Structure 1
Amino acid sequence: MKLQVIQDGSGKSAGVFIPIEDWTLIKANYPDIETLESQIPDWQKELLDLRINAISKNPEKLRPIEELFDELDREI
């Protein structure tokens, strides 16, 4: 997939151009993609901000997802 980033007059990224062939493939794999909302709700943004902030304060607490899966398997 060859995407092109579109920039505004100040050089800030403003959008992405997706070739039609790639867009057709995306729509085939995700038929409801055009009905999805483009914005996430404010409560989700706030939750993400809280989690990102917590991670930035304690990055040593991050663990690979495989460790979580192993732990869950042991509990069953």
Structure 2
Amino acid sequence: MNLQFISDSTGKTTGVYIPIKEWNELKSKFKGIEQEGINIPDWHINLVRKRNEDYKSNPDNSISFDLAIDDIERDL
């Protein structure tokens, strides 16, 4: 996918540009992707926030995505 990231004057990423051809492919693959106001349950939002706080307070207790996948694959 050929994404282009949009940054503000401080260098902070503020958006992303997806070429229309690739956007149309995503729309056909993921029905409802254009839907605005997707409702995420409060319990899910709270869980993600809690996990984020846990990580920020002790990042040494986490492992990389690749290591997590390796662990999962070993258990299969």
- 2:42 pairs with 1:59: no
Cross-structure match for 1:37: 37
Deviation of 1:16 (Å): 0.2
> Secondary structure of the equivalent of 2:10?
coil
Name the larger-Rg structure: 1
Q: Secondary structure at the match of 2:2?
A: coil
Question: What TM-score does the superposition give when structure 1 sets the normalisation length?
Answer: 0.62
* Two-structure CA RMSD over aligned residues (Å): 2.9
1:2 counterpart SS class: coil
**Number of corresponding residues:** 67
Extract unaligned runs of 5+ from structure 2: none
Return the TM-score normalized by structure 2: 0.62
Shifted more, 11-20 versus 29-38: the winner is 29-38
